[in-house]
Amino acid sequence: MSDDTAVLYQAIISRDARFDGVFFVGVTSTGIYCRPVCSARKPAARNCRFFQRAAQAESAGFRPCLICRPELAPGSAPVDGAGRLARLVVQGLDDGLLDDGAGLERLATRFGWSSRHLRRVVRQELGVSPMELVLTRRLLLAKQLLTETELPVSQVALASGFSSTRRFNDAFVRRYRMPPGRFRTTSGGDSRLPSVLDTLTLQLAYRPPFNWSALLAFLDARSTRGVERVEGNGYLRTVSLRGLTGWVAVRHDARRRSLRVELSRELAPVLPALLARLRQLFDLDARPDIIRARLGADPRLAPLMEVDPGLRVPGAFDGFELAVRAILGQQVSVAAATTLAGRFAAAFGVRIETPHEKLELAMPCAERVGSLDAERIAALGIVRARAHAIVVLAREVASGRIGLEPGSPPDETVAALVKLPGIGPWTAQYIAMRALRWPDAFPAGDLIVRRRLGNVTESRARELSKAWMPWRAYATLHLWSEGPTA
C-alpha cells in the first residue's frame, strides 16, 4: 500500500463504501486509525498515513476508532464486516429477498449467519432494523411512483413491496401523517412523466457532468442482437428477473439531469431490483468531481479529463451475461465478439414478446448454460476452449461459489476467476470493472492502454497506474476513449 496521501485521500473524502476494508488510514494528529467510510470529520491530507491492514496501523502506534470500529471492516471481522453485511442486506432488499418475514432468515442462511447477528449489525451500521430499512425503501419508491406515474394506488402498493393496500395505507399514515393519495394530488398531473396503459415511466438522477453519448456508443458496439439495442438517443433491452420477463427503454433527460426509464408493467413487481441494476449499468452513482480531481493531476490523463470530465464506466445489467460476453471477446474484435454473442443468445436464450422490433430474446441464466455440453456452444463457431470456459464459469456462478454482482469482494473474485480454465487476468479485471463495479480494476496487460502510455511493458503500466488509484477503471476508459477494446 502506497504511503502517498494524495493517492488514497480521494477515496477517503468520497466515503465510497467500495473501498471499505481495502485500506485503513491513521491520523497523526489524533493517534487514531479509521476505515475510509468513517463518518467522523475528515482529517487533512498531511495528517494521514495509509495501511493495508489494521494490524499494521496498530503496530505503528495508532489506536482503533470508536466510531467506525476498524475491527468490523470487510475481511477483518470473524464473520465478515458489518459494513459489507449491511450492503448485502440492502442488495437483498433490492433483489426481493426480504419481501416477507421469512426472507430475513433465508438471507442469513444464504451467507452463513444467524438472523440475530444480521439484525444486530444492520442496526449498528445503518441505525435501523432490517425491517425498518425495508419499510423506508418501500415508502420512498412508492412516493416516486405516486408522483411520477399514473399507476393505480393498489398497483403502487404491490410494486413497492406491500402485500396489501391496507398495510400500504397504514404505513403512509403512520410515517407521513397523510394518506398516499395526497402525494398524487399535491404533485399535480402535469408534473408527472407521461405514460401509456402498458408501461411505467420513472426518472433516475445522476451527478453531472454525464457523457451519455459516449456511454451509449460503448453499449451500442457491444449490444447483443435480440437482447439489447441502441435506438436514436436510447438504450433498450429485454429483462428476465425473478421469473418475470419484459423490456426497458432508457433515454437521457439532460434538463432534469436524469435518465428517463420506461418499462413494461409486467416488471412492476421487481421494480426495486430493476432500478438498482440500471443504476449500476449506467454508473449513476459516480462522483465525477472527485474522479476528475484525482486523474486530472496526471499529465497523461489531464487532457482527456478536460475534454470529457463526464465519462462513466459502463456496468452490467447482469454479471453472468457480461462475463460470457467478456470470454467471447478474447482475442477477437469487438464486432466479432458481438456477432458471437448474438448467436449464443439465439441458440440458448428465451424467446419473449415485446413491442420493439428485433428485441425478442432474454439471455440464458447461469443454471441453463451450466447444463449445456461445451460442444453445443462450440458448434456456433466459438473456439472450443472458450466454450468450455463459459460452461465452467456458469457452473461456478450457479453453485454460488463465484458471485458476479456488485458488492462481491473484488480481489477474491478476480483470484477465483483466473483459476478457471480459459480466463486470464485481462478478462478477470474487465469483469471486475463492469460486473463487480470495482472502480480500481485495471487490465494492465491491455494493448491499447500500454500503447497510449508509450508502448510500455505490462509491469510498467501497472507501476504508472498507481498514480490513478483508486480510480483506475475510469482512467482505463479514458485511455480507451479513442479506440476501446473489449
Element (DSSP H or E) covering residue 104: helix 101-110
Give dist(CA 239, CA 246) in Å, integer.
5
Angle at 107 between CA 102 and CA 112, to 5 degrees: 125
CB 350 within 8 A of CB 239: no
Give dist(CA 367, CA 370) in Å, integer.
5
Give dist(CA 344, CA 324) in Å, integer.
9
**400 Cβ contact partners less than 8 Å away, ≥ 6 residues apart:** none
Task: Answer whether the bond into residue 209 is a cis peptide, omega within 30°.
Answer: yes
Task: Compute φ and ψ for 261, nearest 5 degrees.
Answer: -110, 120
Q: Is 65 assigned a catalytic role? A: no
Exactly one of 16, 34, 94, 318 is catalytic; name it: 34
Give dist(CA 21, CA 24) in Å, integer.
7
Q: Which three cell numbers stand for residue 21?
A: 476494508
Closest CA to 243 of 355, 354, 369, 365: 365
Half-sphere exposure of 278 (CA within 13 A, CB side): 29
Q: Is 461 exposed, middle or buried (0-12, 13-18, 19+ CB in 10 A)?
A: buried
User: DSSP assignment of 31-73, as one string?
Assistant: TEEE-TT--SPPPPGGGEEEESSHHHHHHTT-EE-TTT-GGGS
Exactly one of 80, 94, 283, 446 is catalytic; name it: 446
**103 Cβ contact partners less than 8 Å away, ≥ 6 residues apart:** 92, 97
Task: Answer whether the bond into residue 421 is a cis peptide, omega within 30°.
Answer: no
SS3 category, 84:
helix
Q: Which three cell numbers stand for residue 471?
A: 480510480
Closest CA to 291 of 272, 316, 310: 310
Q: Which three cell numbers stand for residue 431?
A: 469483469
Q: Cα dist. 234→214, 216, 258, 274, 433 in Å?
A: 12, 8, 13, 17, 23
Within 10 Å of residue 123's Cβ, how many Cβ atoms?
A: 16
Q: Which three cell numbers stand for residue 439?
A: 472502480
Q: Is 446 assigned a catalytic role? A: yes
Q: Which three cell numbers stand for residue 295?
A: 486523474
Catalytic residues: 34, 446
